[in-house]
Amino acid sequence: MESRAGVSKQDIREQIWDYMESQNLADFPRPVHHRIPNFKGASRAAEHFPRLQAFKMARTIKVNPDAPQKNARFFILDSKKTLLVPTPRLRTGLFNRITPPPGATKDILRKCATSQGVRNYSTPVGLDARVLVDLVVVGSVAVSEKGWRIGKGEGYADLEYAMMVSMGAVSQATPVVTIVHDCQVVDIPEALLEDHDLTVDYILTPTRVITTGCERPKPRGITWSKISYEMMGKIPILKSLRSREQQAGKDVTLQDEHRHLLETRSQQTAPPGAVRRLWDPAPRESGSVQGEDVPSDTVYVGNLPSDTRVSELKRALRELGAAPLRLTWQGPRHRAFLHYPDSASAQQAISCLQGLRLGTNTLKVALARQQRANDPGGGRAGELHPSPYPTI
C-alpha cells in the first residue's frame, strides 16, 4: 500500500485499518481499528523470526503481548531463551517473565505464549533486577522500509522502550523487530517522526524479511516533558525512574509541572470553599480586565489556514527554536495554544514567531491572556478550557 501525501499518523492508521477490514485480512479480534491488527498469516511471518542472526545470538527477548506476536513468543520459549513481556498497561511494573512449568511440552509452551498464558505463567521482574534485553519485538499498525514505525496511538511501545533505556536494559545497538502484514508496509513521511518514536531494524511479513538499515537514533530515554502528572499516577514505575534520574542530576520536569505547582499553591492558600481549578473562568465583574485567569506562559496562535495540520505547525516551531512543552490544537477554530515553562520563555517565543506564515496566512501571535483581554466581544479568543481538542 502507498500512503497519501500530506497525511498525519492517524490518517495512516485509519488507511491501514480500513483496508484490512475491507479485504478481510485480519482474524479475531475484529474490527481491527484501534488495535495492533491480528493479521492473517501472522504465524507464517513469525517463522522468519528464529532464522534471524539477532534471534540466534539473543538470550533475553522482550515481546509485546499482542496476538500477532504469539508465535514469536512460542519460538523464544521453545528455544529455551528468556521471554519478557510488558505488564498490562505498565500498571504494576515494566516486565513480567514467562516461566513455563518444568518439563513443559510444546503444546504447553504454545499455551504459555497466548495472552492467557502470559497472565497465568508470568512473574514480575523488579526494577533492581538489572535485566539486559538482547532483542525487542514490537507490534505496529504501519511501518516503512526505512524502519519508521507507527503504533496504535497510545504510545506504550515507545514509552516501554524509553523506560528500558532508563533502566539500562537496552542501548542504541539493541535490535528491534516488528511482525506485520505486507499491506502494513507503507511510505511514512519523515516529518511525522518525533524524537520519542521508536524505529525498527527488521520487518517480518508473510512473504519477506526486510532489513531496514535504519540510522535514525532510537529514543535515548524518557522524555519527561511529554509525561503528565496523570500518566505518573497511572504508571507508578515512572515515579521510581524519575526519582533515580533526578538524583543523577537529569532534567525531569514534567509536561504540566508548572500548572500542577500553581494548582497546588492555589489550593494551599485559598480559603475553604474558594478553591477553583486553574483553568476555570473567573467570575466576571463589570469593568474587570478579562484574561487574568489565563497563565502568562501560554501563547495564542491564530489565523491558521483551514488545511493546516498540527505537524506543520510543530515543524515550524522547531525550526524557529520556539518548540513549546506542549501544544493545545484547535485547528477547526484556526488556532492553537502553546504552553511554555515560564512567562520569559513565552515572550521569547512570541518574538521568534512574529511574521510567521503558514500557506498564505500570516499568523497572529500573542500572549493568550492579552489576546483574550483585547477581544472586543468579551474575550473568548484566548479561553483555553473546557476544550474538546487534544493537548499534544
Which pLDDT belongs to residue 292?
42
pLDDT in tens, the chain (392 residues): 555 556 899 999 999 999 999 999 999 988 999 999 999 999 999 999 999 999 999 999 999 989 999 999 999 999 999 999 988 777 777 889 999 999 999 999 999 999 888 888 988 888 778 899 999 999 999 999 999 999 998 888 899 999 999 999 999 999 999 999 999 999 999 999 998 999 999 999 999 999 999 999 999 999 998 898 888 888 888 988 999 999 999 999 998 776 665 555 555 555 554 443 333 333 333 333 334 445 678 999 999 998 888 888 988 888 787 888 889 988 888 899 999 888 878 888 888 888 888 888 889 999 887 665 555 443 444 444 444 445 56
For residue 308, the model assigns a pLDDT of: 86
How many other CB atoms are found less than 10 A from the CB of residue 243?
A: 11
Q: Which cell numbers hold the place of 303?
A: 489565523
Cα-flanking dihedrals φ and ψ of residue 14, to 5°? -60, -40
- Cα(37)–Cα(140) distance, integer angstroms: 8
Judge contact between 111 and 140, C-beta under 8 A: no
Beta bridge partners of 301: 336, 365
Predicted confidence at residue 294, as pLDDT, reads 58
User: What backbone torsions phi and psi does residue 314 show, to the nearest 5 degrees?
Assistant: -65, -40
Contact between 369 and 292 under an 8 Å Cβ cutoff? The reply is: yes
Burial 91-105 (b: 16+ CB within 10 A, else e): eebbbbbbebeeebe
- For residue 170, the tally of other CB atoms under 10 A from its CB is 25
Question: Would you say 112 and 121 are in contact if contact means Cβ atoms under 8 Å apart?
Answer: yes
Residue type at 389? Y
